[in-house]
Amino acid sequence: MEFSHQFVQQLINGVSLGSIYALIALGYTMIYGIIKLINFAHGDIYMVGAYIGFFAVTRAGLSIVPALLISMVVTGLLGMLVERLAYKPLRHAPRISVLITAIGVSFFLEYATMYFVTPTPRTFPEVMPSIAFNVGPFIINGQQMLIMGITLVLMLVLTYIVQKTKLGKAMRAASFDVETAQLMGINADRVISFTFCIGSALAAAAGVLVGVYYNSIDPLMGIMPGLKAFVAAVLGGIGILPGAVAGGIILGVIEALVSGFISSTFRDAAAFAILILVLLFKPSGLFGKNTREKV
């Protein structure tokens, strides 16, 4: 009884942490899907999103939902700007050049943020009363509800955009085959720019939610979640949207279980052990498929 009780409690913690990874992983996987770039600056975009949310709450005095929306819009625009300035000029360059540029962008965002807001961690203000819901013997706190609720809404919106809208169809077509998409009259540059916008906005939402959850943000906060979300994207199958969500949640749950039952010092090791195992045994990821071509 005691064991199963703790197990379910850790599961709840894991799903809420995993939702954060899923939001970041979605951006990774969307950007990879369309320009085959592992955008190592994505974790830092998430960090910038957290800061914008922080200032929207502390300076502009907004409540959490408007702050979240503003952070998503501004960070979305930042993502487009980064793509336009750093990646677009390298469209026909070897992939390694773009990858190195992404690492450069990552450092730039980290240290530019430090310059502007100092490296001191900031305490995210309480944006909601600390409430806890008792579901039977289990406890879900308000922040966890917020994280899971907002993640769910954002995923539904994303699914609608990708599946139903014209732009979403263009995104899917371009990530399958950019050249043929252009032959359909799709402006690939515009689709790529839009993809960065959506991916960055989702990362910003994750950043704000983490600020609310852990109360603390700093300019290097994006490094570890960025790497973890990369693991989540690879676990689910890079380039596959439902894979990123599943990978994020699985990763979050495993981390919570490891912290709860073994030791929280092994948490990060577990995440990277998963990466190694996936790369060894199923490099295409859980949702990855074997591509074959018909002639």
Partner 1 sequence: MGTMLKINDINVFYGAIHAIKGASLEVNEGEIVTLIGANGAGKSTILRTISGLLKPKGGSIQFEGKDIAGMPAHEIVKCGISQVPEGRRIFAEMTVLENLELGAFTRKDKDGVKDDMEMVFNRFPRLKERISQLAGTLSGGEQQMLAMGRALMSRPRLLLLDEPSMGLAPLLIREIFAIIQDINKAGTTVLLVEQNANMALSIAHRAYVLETGRITLSGDARELAASEDVRKAYLGG
SS3 140: strand
Any contact of residue 295 with partner 1 (CB under 8 A)? yes
> What is the widest separation between alpha-carbon atoms in the chain?
61
By beta-carbon proximity to partner 1, the closer residue of 97 and 180 is 180
Rounded to an integer, what distance in angstroms lies between the CA atom of residue 9 and that of residue 5?
A: 6
By beta-carbon proximity to partner 1, the closer residue of 170 and 232 is 170
By beta-carbon proximity to partner 1, the closer residue of 141 and 182 is 182
Any contact of residue 153 with partner 1 (CB under 8 A)? no
Cβ atoms within 10 Å of 213's Cβ, excluding its own: 17
Cβ atoms within 10 Å of 84's Cβ, excluding its own: 14
Any contact of residue 92 with partner 1 (CB under 8 A)? no
Any contact of residue 84 with partner 1 (CB under 8 A)? no
Question: Look-up: residue for tokens 């914008």?
Answer: 52
Any contact of residue 290 with partner 1 (CB under 8 A)? no
Contact 128, 64 (CB under 8 A): yes
Any contact of residue 188 with partner 1 (CB under 8 A)? yes
Q: Which of the residues 236 through 255 are near partner 1 (CB under 8 A)? A: none
Q: Which of 23, 24, 35, 186 binds partner 1 (CB under 8 A)?
A: 186
Any contact of residue 94 with partner 1 (CB under 8 A)? no
**Nearest residue to 22 (alpha-carbon basis) of 217, 184, 153:** 153
Stretch touching partner 1 by CB under 8 A, among 9-17, 146-154, 166-174, 217-225 = 166-174
Contact 127, 209 (CB under 8 A): no
Question: Look-up: residue for tokens 């990978």?
Answer: 247
Q: Residue count at the site for partner 1 (CB under 8 A)?
A: 20
Stretch touching partner 1 by CB under 8 A, among 8-16, 180-188, 206-214, 248-256 = 180-188
Any contact of residue 173 with partner 1 (CB under 8 A)? yes
Supply the DSSP string of 7-50, one letter for each residue: HHHHHHHHHHHHHHHHHHHHHHHHHHHHH----TTHHHHHHHHH
Q: How far is the CB of 162 from partner 1 (least distance, A)?
A: 11
Q: Which positions lie near partner 1, rule CB under 8 A? A: 166, 169-170, 172-173, 176-177, 179-188, 293-295
